[in-house]
Amino acid sequence: MSVRLPPPIRLLERGWLSSNSVLLTGPDDTALIDSGYATHAGQTLALVRHALAGRSLDRLLNTHLHSDHCGGNAALRAAYGCQVAIPALDAARVAAWDEEALSYRATGQQCPRFGFDATLAPGMALMLGGLRWEVLAAPGHDPHALLFFCAEEGVLVSGDALWEDGFGVIFPELAGEPGFDEVGATLDLIAGLGARVVIPGHGSAFTGVDGALARARARLDYLRADPVRNARNAVKVLLKFLLLERQAIALAALPQLLGSIPLVERVRRAQLGLAPEDMAHWAAQALLKAGAARIDGAMLHDV
Ligand SMILES: [Zn+2]
């Protein structure tokens, strides 16, 4: 059953390669939160144009700057001349387009360069789509990630900080930075909001926020108990992302392909301690077991 959202809020739900986008249309303004992955930018433009029904887009905001959340920024800014607002802590790296610091190089993902016009910081309040939204910090999955919360309607836009079943990979831990405590603190913050509906970065909007928080906490405990689990999950997620992008990958090419992704290579050496061939074999099998891929002859296919 799909969750009813207040009329100014439209969820443009996507497959997992592209994040969801949230369109806010008020009497006086329009805004979009997150813009999907680069290879879907044309689809993003079409979805947004259709949903806007002839109106223009005034503002574009990002929960965080992973490639699947801001890959349509450049196209939307070019199409609408909209004001782009990003987390303030990422401003310098976006201004310099430092692909290393922005994670695109480390993850082997693409994101067209975009400019920005404003920055967002925790504690700010914004009027978007005729509703008042608080900006909150959501470190953990990404150290600079933000939440947008509309207290009046009890709606939380959570990005990858909370999904109906879990949350995004805890990336800082993979680079030897703290992340588990931050995820816990972000879940505590969300619990204190008393949100009625959560619009996650991936998947459908959901109610039953307490249940989602309990599942997320159990997941956090599981990962924290053995950080190699977070590392394995990261390799699986990054391979699934590649597969979503390419649709099929030759199994013979997998060790080298995974080795070309700096973050995966780092995790392989530092945390998994596997030979490239063994990790490639394990990762492909892990996706098969999860029903997230299939093998046909010499190729690994997306499902
Ligand atoms: Zn993310």
| Cα(28) to centroid(ligand 1), Å | 30
| Cα(200) to centroid(ligand 1), Å | 11
Q: Dihedral, CA atoms, 161, 116, 17, 256, nearest 10 degrees? A: -100
How many residues does this entry show for the chain? Answer: 303
| Cα(69) to centroid(ligand 1), Å | 7
Which residue, among 51, 48, 52, has the nearest Cα to 35 in the 3D structure? 48
| Cα(141) to centroid(ligand 1), Å | 7
DSSP letters of 65-109? --HHHHTTHHHHHHHH-PEEEEEGGGHHHHHTT-TTTTTHHHHT-
d(CA 131, CA 17): 29
d(CA 285, CA 199): 31
Which residues share a beta bridge with 147? 136
d(CA 6, CA 11): 11
Q: Which residues contact 77 (CB under 8 A, 6 or more apart)?
A: 60, 84, 114, 115
Structure tokens given for 186: 């972000």
| Cα(135) to centroid(ligand 1), Å | 17
pLDDT, tens only, 84-136: 999 999 999 999 999 999 999 999 999 999 999 999 999 999 999 999 999 99
pLDDT band, very low/low/confident/very high, at 15 (cuts 50, 70, 90): confident
Whole-number average pLDDT of the chain: 96
The pairing of strands 131-137 and 125-128 is antiparallel
Q: Is 100 exposed, middle or buried (0-12, 13-18, 19+ CB in 10 A)?
A: exposed
| Cα(146) to centroid(ligand 1), Å | 11
Long-range Cβ contacts of 22-25 (<8 Å, 24+ apart)? 22/157, 22/199, 23/48, 23/51, 23/52, 23/129, 24/128, 24/129, 24/130, 24/131, 25/51, 25/52, 25/55, 25/129
pLDDT band, very low/low/confident/very high, at 2 (cuts 50, 70, 90): confident
Give how far Cα 246 sits from Cα of 7, 17, 111, 249, 250, Å.
36, 11, 15, 7, 11
| Residue 16: pLDDT over 90 | no
| Cα(80) to centroid(ligand 1), Å | 25
pLDDT band, very low/low/confident/very high, at 1 (cuts 50, 70, 90): low
pLDDT, tens only, 62-82: 999 999 999 999 999 999 999
The residue type found at 199 is I
H or E element at residue 174: helix 171-174
| Cα(15) to centroid(ligand 1), Å | 14
| Cα(63) to centroid(ligand 1), Å | 9
| Residue 21: pLDDT over 70 | yes
Contact 201, 19 (CB under 8 A): yes
Domains in the chain, please, with CATH? 9-225 (3.60.15.10), 246-302 (no CATH)
| Cα(297) to centroid(ligand 1), Å | 33
Whole-structure pTM value: 0.95
| Cα(66) to centroid(ligand 1), Å | 5
| Cα(27) to centroid(ligand 1), Å | 31
| Cα(285) to centroid(ligand 1), Å | 24
